[in-house]
Structure 1
C-alpha cells in the first residue's frame, strides 16, 4: 500500500498527513458511528491546532443564523463579519464546506471563513446544508440554492448587500458552488458576481487521469471517493445520473454566462484533472477564469496551511479573488 513517504511532499506535510492517517480508521466512511464522529469533530481554536489550521482573526465576529428552505426545514448558517464594519452592508460570500457531501461541519471552517471575512472585507455565510446518506442528492444542492436566494433577499437582513453574491467551497463544497452558479444562471433568484472553487469535485464519472494516478493519495483516495458518492447518490432507481449537471457540473450542456471563476487545484489530488478540465471548459465558453495548480500538496491543503509551503499563498490568492470581485465597481 502506498504511504505518505512515497509522495513528493515537504517533510512537514508528510508528517501531518501521516498523523492524520493514523487517527482515521479504514472503514471511517462506511460505519455510521464513524460518520457521526467525523461530523462532530473540528480543530480547537488554540495552539498547537492553530499552528496547522491558522487562527481565527480576532477582528472577526462569528454568529449563527438560519433560513427556511423550500421544504420548511431550518438550515443553519454560521456567519463571519469584520467587527469594525457593524454599520456597513457588506458583500456576501456563501461558503459550502467540503466532506464528500457526507461529513464535515461549519465550525471546522472557522479559520478559512474568518480569514476571508477579515482580509476580503466580506460577510461570509457558511451554510450547514443537509448531508448524506440521510439526505441524498440533490438535497444538498437544494439547500445551497435556497441559501443563495435567501442571501439575495431582504430576509437575510440589512447587514449584507443582496446583490453581487459570491459562491465558494472546497471539494464537495466546490461542487455545490459550481452547481448553484449554474442553477441561478438558469433559474434566477440571485445575482452571482463570482465563484471560487477549491479542489472541486465536478465530474462524478471519476474518469480523469489523476483519479487513477492518485488513487491512493494522502487525504483523499479513490476508495474514499467511491464511498462518498455511494452515500450521496444511493442505489435507488431514482438516483441522479452521474452525468446530471446537479451532480457533475462539468457535464452541463452550456457553461456560458457563468460568473468569473477561480479554480484552485492540488497536484497530488485525485480531483486535480477534473478541476483543471472545468477551468478549460469555462474559458472555452467565454467565462473569465483563473486556474492555479499548487504543487507538492494533497487534497485539502487549504485547511492545513501551516503544514505546507504553499497554503498561505493559496489563501492569499483566494482572498484577492474574493476582494477584487466583491468590490468590482461594475456592480454598482
Structure 2
C-alpha cells in the first residue's frame, strides 16, 4: 500500500507537474520517481532489486496494471538455447483449449536489456492470450551486464525457432507466429524479425513493437526534447546501453543492426508490423522513423502515437486515458494476423 499512498501525496510540487499529462498519470509518475530516487545509477543492488520485484496481481495494484484474466492458465517451461543454456519461458494459454493448437506470440519484456522480469508482465501477456486467443510465450532472455549484446538477441531468436518447431509441444500451432515486446523488448522483437528473415528457422506472420528502442545512436530529436522525461530519461538510456554494449574490443557498434534495427540496410520482406509510441518519450521519434522506413521498404506497417503519456504507459493502463485503447489496438493486431493464415 505504501506505493499507492505515495501516489496521493501531492503536497510537494515536482518537475513532473510541468508535463502535459492527466493528473492520475502525474501521480503515478511521481510515486515511481520517489521510489527510484533522482538518479538511476544501475548499481548491482538496484539491478538485483528491480529484477526480483513485480506488482502483485491483486487490488489495489491491478487498478493500475490491469487484472490478470481468470480464464487464462499460467505455467512455466524452458527450452535449450544454441549454447545449451536453459532459457525459462512463462506461458499464458486460454483455459478450456486442451487439444487445440493455438498460434504463439513471443513476448520479450522491457527493462533496458538490464532490468525487468517475466512475472511483471503477467497482466498484459495474460490479457493478450485471453483476448486474442493465442498462447503467449514470455521469454526470460539473459540480461546485461552479465550477458552483453547480442546474447539477448540470440535467446529471443532461439525462442522463436523453438516455438516454430515440434519441440514446443502439440499445443502450439506453427503458423500465425508473432513477436512482440516493449522498449528493449521491442528492440529485440524487431531485431529477431530481421535475423529470422535473413537466416530462417521461423516464419513470422506479424510483429508488434511497443515504444521500441531501435536506434542506439540516440540521435533523434525526441531524445533531446525529452531528455528529462518521466519514466525514461536520456541518462537512463546511456546507462542501459553502457551495460548492454560494454566496452570490450569486440563490443557491438551502436550502428550494428543487431542493436539498431533502424539502421539495417534492407527492411524489405519483414512481417506486417505495428509500432506504438508514447508522445512524452525519448524513443518516440525513432519508433516513428522505423514505421516510415518499413513502409518505404514495402512492408505493411501501422504507427500509432499515443498523446500525453510517457514511456511505459502500456504497463499501467489504469493510470492513463489511452492505456485501454492501446491495448485494444495491440490485441486486435495480434488476433487479426495470428489467425489470418489457416492450416491447409
The runs of at least 4 consecutive aligned structure 1 residues that moved more than 4 Å come to none
User: The residue matched to 2:75 in structure 1 has which SS?
Assistant: strand
* Aligned match of 2:293: 281
User: Any stretches of 5+ residues in structure 1 without a counterpart?
Assistant: none
Contact residue 74 and residue 93 of structure 2 kept, 8 A? yes
Aligned to 1:88: 100
2:281 is matched with 269
* 1:10 lines up with 2:19 in the alignment: no
CA contact (8 A) 2:109 2:181 kept: yes
Tell me the residue number matched to 1:25: 37
Q: Is the 8 A contact 1:211 1:271 kept in 2?
A: yes
Aligned residue number for residue 146 of structure 1: 158
2:338 corresponds to 1:326:
yes
Q: Which residue of 2 aligns with 1:246?
A: 258
Is the contact made by 2:54 and 2:119 (CA closer than 8 Å) also made in structure 1? yes
Work out which of the residue numbers 216, 224, 232 in structure 2 matches 1:204. 216
> Which sits farther off after the overlay, 81-90 or 107-116?
81-90
Other-structure match for 1:75 = 87
User: Does the CA contact (< 8 Å) of 1:256 and 1:287 recur in 2?
Assistant: yes
**SS in structure 2 opposite 1:84?**
coil
CA displacement 1:32-78 (0-9 Å, x = unmatched): 00100001000001111000000000000000000000110000000
TM-score norm. by structure 2 comes to 0.95
1:226 maps to: 238
Unaligned runs of 5+ in 2: 1-12
Q: RMSD of the alignment, in Å?
A: 1.2
How far did residue 25 of structure 1 move? 2.8
Give yes or no for contact 2:275–2:304 (8 Å, CA) kept in 1.
yes
In 2: Cα distance, 1:330 partner to 1:161 partner: 10
Cα separation, 2, equivalents of 1:156 and 1:3: 48
Of 157, 164, 171, which aligns to 2:176? 164
In structure 2, the CA distance between the partners of 1:29 and 1:35, relative to structure 1 (3 Å rule), is farther
| 8 Å contact kept, 2:179–2:189 | yes
TM-score, normalization by structure 1: 0.98
1:55 to 63, 67, 76: 67
* CA-CA distance at 1:87 after TM superposition: 1.7
1:188 equivalent in structure 2: 200
Report if aligned partners of 2:279, 2:310 keep a CA contact under 8 Å in 1. yes
Distance 2:167 2:38 in 1: 44
Offset of 1:237 from its aligned partner? 1.1
